[in-house]
Amino acid sequence: MVVDVPRRALARPRSLAPEQFAAEAITRATGRIPVRAWVLWETGTEELLDAVATAWTSRAVLVAWGAPPHQHEAWVWAGAVTRVAPPATPSAPRPGQRNAPVEGRRPGR
């Protein structure tokens, strides 16, 4: 039986070597920090991914992404990572969004 498996699932990301970033103290995240990160795969392909930052130094960030059984993590240069704002809660109005009128009252009164 032939199974069609995405090539990315079989590839591994390239990670920075500890000598490239570990001369400083590593800060570990206390929660999930959503980021977008450029990752270089062993095939030479660069890809912009949604990930979470799990640790960092001033020069590099450890990012993690994927879903079981294809979870990955890699150290990438800090310049390759952009922090993403967490999704807004549904109960909070978005900027520019008007509140719904109160039942029984007419708008403008």
Whether 68 maps to a domain, the answer reads yes
Question: 56 or 108, which is more confident?
Answer: 56
Going by pLDDT thresholds of 50, 70 and 90, the confidence category of residue 42 is very high
Kindly tell me if the per-residue pLDDT of 62 is higher than 90.
yes
Q: How far apart are CA 57 and CA 77, in angstroms?
A: 10
Q: What is the spatial distance between Cα 82 and Cα 37, in angstroms, rounded to a whole number? A: 6
Structure tokens belonging to residue 7:
């090539």
Residue 69: give the domain boundaries: 8-83
Q: Does residue 91 form part of some domain?
A: no
In a domain, 60, yes or no: yes
Q: Which amino acid is at 29?
A: A
The total number of structural domains that make up the chain: 1
Does the global pTM surpass 0.85? no
pLDDT on residue 2: 46
Tell me whether residue 100 is in a domain: no
Is the residue at 35 inside a domain?
yes
Is 109 inside a domain boundary? no
pLDDT in tens, 6-18: 545 568 999 999 9
b/e string for 30-53 if b means 16 or more Cβ within 10 A?
Answer: eeebebebebbbeeeeeeebebbb
